[in-house]
Homo-oligomer: A and B are copies of this chain.
């Protein structure tokens, strides 16, 4: 008899998430039927999209969605034998009985067999997982960055942003990052960003962007929305490309923040603005993770984690991540 703990969304978020939006519950997991697998979570990820898409993807009473790194405890599916490690789309649950595929695609994905012993498997939720792939696809598939180009990235010390900057350097680009504390800015410089600034303390966003790249930007990896987006638009070069990955500065709005209609600059500079989600290139994930593993082995990708211990602290870790506390990918170790 296996008991599962799980975090349920009790009440939809209004403004910034609160403990009272969630409830910790327990249940006995069912016996396995043919094709079922029982997985036990080892690491959880908390990410901004859990705030952004909550109303779109969830009803009150649902288990909070999210990815976990898990171990197969019992299996009636020969493709996922006992003892193997998987990424599991099982939400915030310590133990889950599941099929490997659901109506919306794979639920379980085995960790690539080439995973090196000296690289922590938690990175499969960070630099070598969804956030890393998001950075890679935003640059390669959306921006189509070329060597020598100048790339701007906001929320640059975040799990995605830090990867964007480093991949830009691998690709021979100049990269400028913005972040919200001086410690984060120092971290960006450690990671090899050519320029970095604290968007909260510069006298003018527009001036900071111009100083960091007087000739403008070929590409902008957009994570924030808000006034930074408008300032970035105004600093794009003609023919610039903007990969819209997120808009974290607006996720907790109760009344929407407004911007001037951006038509003039979009037209006169012939800008391309494209929204994307990492799952668009799922068919490339395996090959992409192998490439990024290789970069990491070569020392070209560095990574940092903020690890919170204990499943009962998931909601706290989630809120800290949304506040931008800590530097590095937010991970929960069960």
Q: Give the B-binding residues of A (Cβ under 8 A).
A: 52-53, 56, 222, 225-226, 229, 244-247, 250, 256-261, 263-277, 280
Q: Which residues of B contact A244 (CB under 8 A)?
A: 263, 266-267
Question: A224's closest neighbor in chain B, by CB?
Answer: B263
Known: A250-B263, A267-B276. 8 other contacts (CB 8 A): A53-B268, A56-B268, A225-B263, A247-B267, A258-B261, A265-B275, A268-B277, A270-B277
CA distance A101 to B90 in the complex (A): 65
The 30 sampled A-B contact pairs (Cβ below 8 Å) are A52-B264, A53-B268, A225-B263, A226-B261, A229-B261, A229-B263, A244-B263, A244-B266, A245-B267, A246-B263, A247-B261, A247-B264, A247-B267, A250-B264, A256-B260, A257-B260, A257-B261, A258-B258, A258-B261, A259-B261, A265-B275, A266-B273, A266-B274, A267-B277, A268-B277, A270-B276, A271-B274, A271-B275, A272-B274, A273-B274
Quote the shortest CB–CB distance from A245 to chain B (angstroms).
7
| A261 and B256 contacting across the interface, CB-CB below 8 Å | yes
Q: Which residues of B contact A273 (CB under 8 A)?
A: 266, 272-274
Q: Which residues of B contact A280 (CB under 8 A)?
A: 270
The 8 Å CB contact of A225, one of B222, B225, B261, B275, is B261
Question: A244's closest neighbor in chain B, by CB?
Answer: B266
Q: Which residues of B contact A258 (CB under 8 A)?
A: 258-261
Q: Which residues of B contact A247 (CB under 8 A)?
A: 261, 263-264, 267
CA distance A269 to B273 in the complex (A): 13
